[in-house]
Chains A and B, each alone.
Chain A
Amino acid sequence: MKPLSELSFPEDLRYVESHEWVRLEEGIARIGITDYAQDQLGDVVFVELPEAGKTLARGAAFGSVESVKAVSELYMPLSGRVVEVNAALSSSPELVNQSPYGEGWMIRVEPSAPAELEGLLAAADYRERLKG
């Protein structure tokens, strides 16, 4: 597992303490897990994702990500309706490790409570939380 200094947290994203990231793209939130999370998990072998159309609240579990020896729940960083799920992950779960902010994205969500976006962490704040 890498030291914090070697992990990346792009500035243009927002984060939550449960290690999911959010990128707002013309009103739709793209969501995945951070470089720290994938590094902690190790090689991802399976990702369980919800069906498109499902509506979930912030903090609710939307799926899980598995390595050989561990399972982690995935939590909604904000409330909304799932509009798209990354189908590539079922045949290539390793994308989560290789490109956690790019091809390893997990779901796209139409936010239902835009005010929640204020509560998301900036990259620097998320990094601080990891140090503590």
Chain B
Amino acid sequence: MMRYLPHTPEETAAMLAAVGVDDLERLFDVIPPECRRTRPMTLPGPMSEWELNGHMDGLAARVTPWSRARVFLGAGSYPHFIPEAVRFVTQRSEFVTAYTPYQPEMSQGTLQAIFEYQTLTARLLGLEVANASMYDGASALAEALLMAVRLTGRRAVAISRAVHPLYRRVAATYLDPAGIERRELDFGPEGTTDPARLADAREIAAVAVQSPNVFGCLEPLAAFAARAHEGGALCVAAFTEPLAFGLFASPGSLGADIACGEGQSLGIPPSFGGPGLGMFAARLAHVRQMPGRLVGETHDLEGRRGFVLTLSTREQHIRREKATSNICTNNSLCALAAAAYLACLGKRGLRDLARLNRDKAEYLKRGLAAQGVRPAFPAPTFNEFTAVFPPGFRERYLRLAENGLVAGFPLERWYPELSDHYLLCATEVHERADLDALIAEVRP
């Protein structure tokens, strides 16, 4: 007996009789012997619900959540407080256990919620249209570059080296098989990328810049957009921390043609790296080359407003090999969380939260500088920044980690020339005492 398998022996017998076989096994006779397993599966379990809880508690206890330690890690995943109302909304099983809204009449909940998400995303990023989301920020960037290639017909892109390294690696995975050339623009001593380094925009489909970049620094997006447009290329603005746009100018307002990045900060728990939320917004003129699902507004037979999936002919189930992408899902439930979180904050709340985030990081920056640990780069930052720790900090870093204080991320792992550089993140969840504790530990 198993609580997810409702059949009783009587029911099974009755059904077998209806089907006209005397044994369930007959239904599998069609499987040839050479395809069959030679021995039954060896798996643990079945565990009772109680045992499962104990087992999972045991595993989870051997992971350090940011709620039980002082973790100053950002670098693409950010600790933020998620209001209970937002968590409640994302747990409604009518959202959780529903399918993709292909039958719109009985899926208006999902459809309106995603239409709202698209709208809020477009407003947040300062562009005209946003899709229903992609897997994560990295794959969203890869798809943005492929879209630029389709739009311009040019088979090369330029990517700043200050774009998150893991994003650049995912972009490589998507672009290399298509034979798209990737040119790298190095960052400068200020921790930002110089648009003048973009030699000839006429040769590339797009230039991709992340702002705030991996070092936490704001990039000169407007200048990049201008330079890209001079050469008929697109400007793709990536991001890992969308809360920054509660304070600073949106990528669209600075001239970006496509804005793409990670929405995990918006009401989605970090969950050891996934699921996340690939946010993607672009200009309306380019919408037919945009990958991913789109929800559109329409009306029903009685003239009432309703929502449907639309412009589906871009997608794999219709175009098949000529599709704009092979993407079949969107991270719908994560998009719902993001929309609910933004709506929970509201315009003013978003501004206040963004200010508080920056102030926490600036406090940390000042406190460290007072101890002789200076920021690596002068460029303005949001809720993370790069600091140069005393030489040989590595050992102390590991000891501190084992005692529940993770002093940022050692950038040397991604940028070998940046030894002793640590990427530090401070958000609304880091209390003054936490910040002071870190400052005390990093004294040279």
Contacts and interface: CB of A to CB of B under 8 A. Distances in A.
Nearest to A67: B313
B443 interface: no
A71 B317 CA distance: 11
Interface string A61-100: 0000010111100000000000000000000000000000
A71 B313 CA distance: 7
A68 B288 CA distance: 13
A126 interface: no
Instruction: Name B's interface SS.
Output: helix
Q: How large is the interface on A (under 10, 10 to 19, 20 to 34, 35 or more residues)?
A: under 10
Contacts, number: 15
A69 B310 CA distance: 10
A40 B353 CA distance: 55
Majority secondary structure of chain A interface residues (helix, strand, loop or mixed): strand
Nearest to A48: B288
Interface string B288-320: 100000000000000000000000110000110
A46 interface: yes
B142 to A, nearest CB: 24
A5 B313 CA distance: 30
Contacts of B288: 46
Interface in B402-443: none
A3 to B, nearest CB: 26
A46 B312 CA distance: 12
B289 to A, nearest CB: 11
Nearest to A45: B313
Chain A CB within 10 Å — which of B288, B312, B313, B318 has the most? B313
A69 B288 CA distance: 15
Contacts of A71: 313, 318-319, 322
A46 B288 CA distance: 10
Contacts of B318: 69-71
A58 B319 CA distance: 23
A71 B312 CA distance: 10
Interface of A: 45-46, 66, 68-71
15 contacts: A45-B313, A46-B288, A46-B313, A66-B313, A68-B312, A68-B313, A69-B312, A69-B313, A69-B318, A70-B313, A70-B318, A71-B313, A71-B318, A71-B319, A71-B322
Given A45-B313, A46-B313, A71-B313, 12 more contacts: A46-B288, A66-B313, A68-B312, A68-B313, A69-B312, A69-B313, A69-B318, A70-B313, A70-B318, A71-B318, A71-B319, A71-B322
Closest 3 CB pairs of A and B: A66-B313, A71-B313, A71-B318
